[in-house]
Every structure is written in C-alpha cells, then in structure tokens.
Amino acid sequence: MGYADLADLALAAPIAAHVRVSRASALSRREAPDVPPDKRRFLFTADVMTLIRGPGEMPVEVTWLADLPNDARGRPPRIARRAEYLLLAAPTPGRPGELRLVAPDSLLPYDPATAEQLRAILREASAPDAPPRITGIGRAFHVAGSLPGEGETQIFLQTADDRPISLNILRRPGEQPRWAVALSEIVDDAAAPPAPRTLLWYRLACTLPAQLPPQSLSEAQPDEADAIRADYRVIIQGLGPCARMRARR
C-alpha cells in the first residue's frame, strides 16, 4: 500500500492493532450467502499483540469477519495459525472484543515498515496541531508587484473545524515561484511546502481539485484570475499526485 492508501484506512479506523491469529474458520455458503463466489468469509480470532490506537480497556482477544479471495484453484485461502496482521477496525456496540473491518481490505499482513508508517500517521493525526481535514477552497487573491513578473497570491482553504489554512505563492523576476502553507492567520516567513508522505501533504494532495472552483475567483479581475490559476498549478505540481493503489470504497 502507498502512503495515501494507508492514511485512508488509518484515519477511518477507531482501532488499529497488531494481532496474531489463534483461529480462522471458513464459513459455509449457507452461513454466509451474501459473499461473492470468488471469495470466502472467515471468522478470525486473534490475540492483540500491540494496540496502536483504540480504547485502553479493549480485550486482549478479539474476533472479526473478513471476506478473502479464493486461491488460483478456486479454493478458500489457507490462513496460517499465528499469522500476524495489522488490523484496522471499529468496535461493535455492546459486544466487547467483536470488531468489524473499516474496509474489505483493512486487514494487512504485518510487516515492521508498514507498522511504523501506520504509527507515524496516527501520531500526526492525534497531535494538538494536526492539520485539519480540508473541505473546500475559499477566496483567492492576487497582488501584483512593482516589477514585471512580480506578485503574490493567497488562496484560503475551508476546513472541517474552521481552522485557517492558506496557500501562499510568491513570484519574483528571474526566480522560480516559491510557495508555502500557512496553518494560522499569520503567514510565517519560514513557512514551506509540506514534506511528502506527511499528514499535511496527504490533506492537500489527496483533497485539492486539479483546478480552482469558479467561486474562488469571483472577486478577482481577469488578469488577477489568470495569475491565480497559474500559481495554483504551481502548487498542484509541487504536491505531486496522490497515488492510490486500492479502490476507495
């Protein structure tokens, strides 16, 4: 999984844990009639090795259902006893220890690198200054400088908790455009673009549209709107693609 794939799952999961399977039983077609023919539903029972995210009172043994693809011969896959997974799940109300996957593919074979990336995402997400979820783009403004090719653009973003975020682009003659992200109402001179594979990068690269919505340019003159669009393209190119390898559900 890429960073964006893992972040999609991690941020949607109230529970993230490293687990070791003690039992995995394949259900019959009669017990699980809604499962597609190319898959088989399993009932997993596992011991929680490490609780990465979740309630402190969670049981040490958990169960969940998962629909897994059949092997090349059309048979149910073999689940090794004591197989280890990263489990991204939600609790079942009123049933301690019974979990449900947040997505059909949120049961990941354990490996240390993925586990560390998962921890890093959740650490950033739980920090007091974690970047908020972006819900849209607000107004955008451009001020031309005194020299040809000089100017500054500011694009305000809308967030789920109304915290301010702005994108700021500075152009000077003979220099490459410089852009940065401000997470407060004051633009810090030391602000910079977000580092790749960070939560702020994910919030921007995986949310911002390829083009500015028309309402963001409603207060700009035609030449200002052209400059804003050009500066926004600089930001989108600077962020790079939000590469996802899994289908979002």
Which token pair is 193?
């673009």
Residue 107 belongs to a domain: yes
Residue 244 belongs to a domain: no
Same-domain pairing of 119 and 226: no
Same-domain pairing of 10 and 110: yes
79 and 120 in contact (C-beta within 8 Å)?
Answer: no
Q: Which residue has the tokens 């402190």?
A: 56
Query: Which pLDDT belongs to residue 7?
Result: 97
CA 109-111-115 angle, 5° bins:
100
Same-domain pairing of 139 and 223: yes
Q: How far apart are CA 7 and CA 205, in angstroms?
A: 12
Q: Which of 126, 160, 191 represents a domain boundary (last residue)? A: 126
Query: Which pLDDT belongs to residue 188?
Result: 66
Query: Which pLDDT belongs to residue 189?
Result: 65
Query: Which pLDDT belongs to residue 96?
Result: 85
Q: Which residues contact 99 (CB under 8 A, 6 or more apart)?
A: 15, 62, 63, 64, 87, 89, 90, 91, 92
Q: pLDDT tens digits, the chain, 249 residues: what are they?
A: 899 999 999 999 999 999 999 999 999 999 999 999 999 999 999 999 999 999 878 899 999 999 999 988 888 899 988 999 999 999 999 898 999 999 999 999 999 999 999 999 999 999 999 999 999 999 999 999 888 889 999 999 999 999 999 999 999 998 999 999 998 876 666 678 999 999 999 999 999 999 999 999 999 999 999 999 999 999 999 999 998 888 655
Give residue 149's region: left, alpha or beta (phi > 0; psi -120 to 50). left
Which token pair is 232?
């926004």
Same-domain pairing of 178 and 77: no
Query: Which pLDDT belongs to residue 191?
Result: 76
Which token pair is 110?
């354990």
Same-domain pairing of 169 and 188: yes
Range of the domain at 230: 134-239
Same-domain pairing of 157 and 226: yes
Q: How far apart are CA 171 and CA 169, in angstroms?
A: 7
Give residue 47's region: left, alpha or beta (phi > 0; psi -120 to 50). beta
Q: Which of 100, 126, 152 represents a domain boundary (last residue)? A: 126
Residue 247 belongs to a domain: no
Same-domain pairing of 36 and 119: yes
Residue 87 belongs to a domain: yes
Q: How far apart are CA 177 and CA 170, in angstroms?
A: 6
Residue 59 belongs to a domain: yes
Bridge pairing between strands 39-53 and 15-26:
antiparallel
Same-domain pairing of 63 and 145: no
Q: Which of 107, 126, 145 represents a domain boundary (last residue)? A: 126
Residue 83 belongs to a domain: yes
Same-domain pairing of 97 and 159: no
Residue 172 belongs to a domain: yes
- CATH number, domain of 47, equals 2.40.50.120
Residue 183 belongs to a domain: yes
**180: which DSSP letter?**
E
Same-domain pairing of 16 and 117: yes
Q: How many domains does the chain have?
A: 2
Q: How many CB atoms lie within 10 A of CB 5?
A: 19
